[in-house]
Chain A
Amino acid sequence: MSVLANNNRKVCLRLAMRTIRANRTRSVFLCLSVMLVSLLYMAVFYTADAVYHSYLLQDQLEYGSASHIVFDWLTEHQADRISRHDKVKSTVELHSIGILSDELLEYRTIRMAAADQDYAESVSAVPQEGHMPEKEGEIALDTMTLDSLGIPHRTGTAVRLDWGDNEGNRQTEEFILCGWWDSESVHTESCAWITPAHADKLRDRSGEEESITLGVMLYHPEDLEAQAEEIVKSLGLGDVTYTTNLAYNSARIDTADQRASGYLFTAIFVVAGGFLLIYNIMAVSLEERVSLLSSMKAMGMTPFQAGLFSSLYALLLCIPSVPSGMAAGFVIFYRISGDIVEGLTGIALEQGLVTAFPFLAASLFSVLTAWAGCFFPTCRMNGWMPAKIREFLNREYKGRKKRKRGDLTAWGMAWRMMAVGRRSLIASVCSFLAAALVLGGSYIRYISYDSEYYARETYVSDYSFLDASCAGDYQRYNERAGNLTEETAETIRSCPEVAEYGEFLTHEVDLTADDALRGTVVDFYNETDGYYGNVTRKESMSGQPGWIAGLEKLEATGQYRSVLIGADGLVMDYVLFYEPLDGTFDAEKFASGKYVLSVGAASAEGISSAPAGSSVVIGGRTFTVMAAVEDWGLVPAGRNSRASEFSLNYVLPSHALRELYPGLNIRQIMVNVKDGEARQFEQRISALDRHKGIVTERKTDRIREFQQSAASSVAVEMFTGILLLFISILGFLNVMMTKILSRRKEFALYQSLGMEKRQIRKVVFFEGVIHGAICAAVLPFAGAALWYGMASYYDSPFAYISNNDWAVIYQYSPLPLFITACIIFMVSVTVPQLCLRHTERESVVERMRYRE
């Protein structure tokens, strides 16, 4: 006989289809299980993909352009040559004539350029209010620029702008504001759009050539640096400058990958839970499947055909289940992934950002899990001889070798039945363990986020009102903006709901240090600090040349820039957030206006600012330094000038600062509101908004964002844990129901021998309790694993990946495990009783005839 005999595959397909139809209930259960598993996979992979792209989008936003490479300072000819390069797919052009040169914009680069819709779209600079300039004299700007310059958000506003042409020659021009857009606070570059005709006119007047910025999209956006170099070299454009998109930077991609991979880790539990559920359902009907296998192998089915039959069975179940599960998962997470991702990264995920990865990964994993769950219960038997399979089927209950003699009790009978159906029980136990670990871990992570701690460390006041010119990360405070007027301050201060009030004023001046102060500061920064290795503190600042220049100016001339901070009321809580580095604070004395607080840093050897007891001359008046306080860095909001990159700052009462420099505007107001009166306060301040030049920050908003971020960071894991628990319960239900329903003949036999229904129910009750106890027994182990595992997790850097992870105080809670245990016992006690009552509807004789 030929070993190479033809093995028919079609018969395996037919058998698989008939098997599915022969037991519709089990097939439906299996389809639902596969669907659930597919839904879970879709959720995990879609969210991981969304997180990955969101972090890259964040990088792209930081970069400020959607283009892969941006070439700068090009001529028309150069731009044209690059556009025609065979690596270049498409380009957008910015024809700029100069840069806004107002020193209030020193942290940002605002290019004055001919309006170009394509380029504007590539850098998210399309007006959202008003329109692009259409007539000569019109200009469109972003809101951050408007706020920095103190220009109201109102079309038709006259705007006077200083700008420098491409050779640096300064010019002034007047425009009419025709539109504006909200730019991201991380953008350090923006555009000031004027009409092309106006741009030509200004360029002709300045006599300078326009410079072209070219945004390039490549066919294959990998290794952008190398491609940019190649383009430049191949075209002989050696002196051309370019930047590459951060979103394609390999280090950034690795970081995004790392952050997304945390979600993929959850997929391991999905694999385990999904496999166990399907395996469990298959294991319950093992005898039937093995009997079929025995018959088929006796007829001459080869091991390959037997394996193919199991595999096709699984694949046929996947056909209706996987697409519907994936569709359900996609629908759910398309809606909520955006919220999750925005909570994590602060970036609104682009709706419509759907890639192939989640679909491919989810379908592959779903099919593999379903296949494994169907294949493995009988896979080892595929190669067995038919006689061995029959031996397995006919195996008798052997029981323990040493048997106790004595009365048989209900408990004893129940205990003996534990030998039957061990596989499916073990599968249930493993499934509950997986669910407990995921759900328990995610719950602990969630409750460990401490919003009170977060609020305590970041916000002293319930409300903070900022002058819009200092609301952004790259905005220099405009002392002349004056959006927080005295009237506004009085309106806020006089609200009856206000419990505490405080103001920040700031003013930059140049001061002269005496020899003592000069020596103190210079010595401090020339010290070697172990924190930085073997370099001095000054050397550690080598990446900030402006700071170095300021220190050296102090050393050489004694002159330095100082930011004078006027502080009153509530804001003193911020000022004195940390204990003074030197001296002690006396509120009454400080209020007299004769004292100042110096701001700096400290080491074991000394401090970096004027010490307590020393004197400082400000505006012709001599003040005594009461204490030196730590530079807390949080407030006031916004940046000071570049000249103050190195500065020695002083805090004095607002009235004292106003006396020295009359007409100073308020930079920031801080308010605490009486308990329970926030709503009324909100009504009173409802008219204060950004378009009036005031930005309102609420501690409650920040806490809510923090809580949202916390929820987002655990959302997928918790959802997975809940679904795994649901899967475990389904599997356990299946075990408990089958245990009773498949033994109706046995129970009928007991009754026929004289056992009362009450006695049978007692046995079944004890069986349920034992099952429940075995499944629940795994929960303390899960609890112990979580106890040690989560503590280790919070000791590792993995716990501190997203922005708010620092605000965590580890809290352990076994609540999910407790709930799981309750559900297990409820199911194990009630379900068998209900099934038993169901079987008792038939008579003893009818049940005795039942073929199991």
Chain B
Amino acid sequence: MDIIARIENVKKYYGSGESMVRALDGVDLEIEKGRFTMLVGASGSGKTTLLNLLGGQDKPTEGRIFVEGTRIDTLGEEALSVYRRNKIGFIYQNFNLIPMLTVEENILFPLELGNEKPDRGFFDELVGILGLKDRLDALPGELSGGQRQQTAIARALITRPSLVLADEPTGNLDRKSGQNVLGLLKMMNGKYHQTIVMITHDLDIAQMADRIIRIEDGKAEDKGMRGKAGLDGRMHDVGAGK
């Protein structure tokens, strides 16, 4: 399997002295291309921090991060902005849509930043799959939670990024909408071979993944392919997937 991203001994500390927080404390990890990878762990374990580092939204205190062979932890903010725009699709728990842009404009926003012309065929296909065809002129304030997250997913995918990073995308949704969103992500992974890294602390949702990585106390444990949670809530080594 191709490795699309590699994290080498990455540490991320916040603060100093007695109040220092060790969000990540030496993480080594590889993300496989085309796979749906789930990051699981308790609240405050460092999952979001790891996702932010992969997504170029933050820089590690120590260590190296490579995405498609390029080291990103040493890039300047200007270059990182371009990296985020072209290589990453980020899906947030609270959607983070731009309130004064329409659905269509929100989706095409990353392309517009880079002055790239959208692939209309791909756009139409995306919005068709996500069920947004009739809502393209709406503002985010006029959408339901599920529709907002669908818009965010479309925005994340429109640039055909190397990585789609999703930080608890169903956290603010009702069960049905959440399941809908997860289904869409799974379909994107299947149809477009999109590499997806997603955070969840819902063990049922974790079942969807090809691979589960557990983050605990700032360190990563690869739990293998297609994990299954035990009743005690801890992940166990379940070997290769079914």
Q: Which residues of A contact B (CB under 8 A)?
A: 1-3, 5-8, 10-11, 15, 18-19, 21-22, 292, 294-305, 383-388
Contact = CB atoms under 8 A, between A and B. Distances in A.
Contact of A302 (B82, B99, B101, B109): B82
B211 interface: no
Contacts of B85: 5, 299-301
Contact of A1 (B52, B86, B97, B98): B86
Given A15-B100, A15-B101, A305-B81, 17 more contacts: A1-B86, A3-B78, A5-B86, A6-B116, A7-B113, A10-B115, A11-B112, A294-B96, A295-B97, A296-B98, A296-B109, A298-B57, A299-B155, A300-B83, A301-B85, A301-B113, A386-B84
A531 to B, nearest CB: 70
B81 A1 contact: no
B230 interface: no
Contacts of B116: 6
With a 10 A CB-CB cut-off, give which of A300, A301, A384, A386 has the most chain B CB atoms.
A300
Contacts of A22: 99-100
B57 A299 contact: no
A10 B115 CA distance: 9
A295 B96 contact: yes
Contacts of B155: 299
Nearest to A20: B100
Contacts of B82: 1-3, 5, 300, 302
B113 A305 contact: yes
Nearest to A292: B98
The 8 A-B residue pairs whose C-beta atoms are closest, nearest first, are: A300-B85, A387-B58, A18-B100, A8-B115, A302-B81, A22-B100, A6-B115, A11-B112
Interface in B86-113: 86-88, 90, 92, 96-101, 109-110, 112-113
A18 B55 CA distance: 28
A2 B78 CA distance: 10
A7 B115 CA distance: 6
5 contacts: A5-B114, A7-B114, A292-B99, A299-B110, A300-B85
A8 B77 contact: no
Contacts of A387: 52, 57-58
B230 to A, nearest CB: 33
Contacts of A385: 57-59, 77, 80
Contacts of B43: none
A584 B113 CA distance: 95
Nearest to B86: A1
B240 interface: no
Contacts of A2: 82
Nearest to A4: B82
Contact of A303 (B55, B78, B99): B78
Contacts, number: 101
Interface residues of B, number: 35
Interface in B41-71: 52, 55, 57-59, 70
Given A1-B86, A21-B100, A299 B58 contact: no
Contacts of B92: 298
Contacts of B112: 8, 10-11
Interface secondary structure of A, over-half rule: helix
A544 to B, nearest CB: 75
B52 A8 contact: no
A231 to B, nearest CB: 60
Given A7-B115, A11-B112, A300 B78 contact: no
A6 B114 contact: yes
A21 B101 CA distance: 11
A295 B90 CA distance: 10
Nearest to A11: B112
Nearest to A391: B14
A537 to B, nearest CB: 77
B81 A301 contact: yes
A1 B70 contact: yes
A299 B77 contact: no
B114 A300 contact: yes
A157 B216 CA distance: 115
Contacts of B114: 5-8, 300
B79 interface: yes
Nearest to B79: A3
A383 B77 contact: yes
A298 B78 contact: no
B100 A19 contact: yes
With a 10 A CB-CB cut-off, give which of B81, B82, B90, B155 has the most chain A CB atoms.
B81
A6 B58 CA distance: 23
Nearest to B83: A1
A300 B86 contact: yes
B84 A299 contact: yes
A287 to B, nearest CB: 13
B89 to A, nearest CB: 10
Nearest to B95: A295
B77 A300 contact: no
A19 B98 CA distance: 10
A298 B85 CA distance: 8
B70 to A, nearest CB: 7
Given A8-B113, A19-B100, A300-B114, A1 B87 contact: yes
B13 to A, nearest CB: 14
A254 to B, nearest CB: 48
A298 B116 CA distance: 18
A386 B57 contact: yes
A303 B99 CA distance: 21
A298 B84 contact: yes
Nearest to A304: B78
A648 B119 CA distance: 104
Contacts of B110: 299-300
Nearest to A300: B85
Given A1-B87, A295-B97, A11 B109 contact: yes
B224 to A, nearest CB: 29
Nearest to A21: B100
A11 B55 CA distance: 23
With a 10 A CB-CB cut-off, give which of B88, B92, B98 has the most chain A CB atoms.
B98
Contacts of B109: 11, 296, 299
A296 B98 CA distance: 8
A298 B90 contact: yes
B96 A298 contact: yes
B65 to A, nearest CB: 13
Nearest to B102: A18
A173 to B, nearest CB: 87
B159 to A, nearest CB: 9
Nearest to B68: A1
A771 to B, nearest CB: 30
Contacts of B80: 385
A387 B49 CA distance: 9
Contact of B84 (A8, A10, A300): A300
A299 B100 CA distance: 15
Contacts of B115: 6-8, 10
A292 B80 CA distance: 18
Nearest to B72: A1
A299 B113 contact: yes
Nearest to A389: B57
B161 to A, nearest CB: 10
Contacts of B86: 1, 5, 300
Nearest to B162: A1
A480 to B, nearest CB: 88
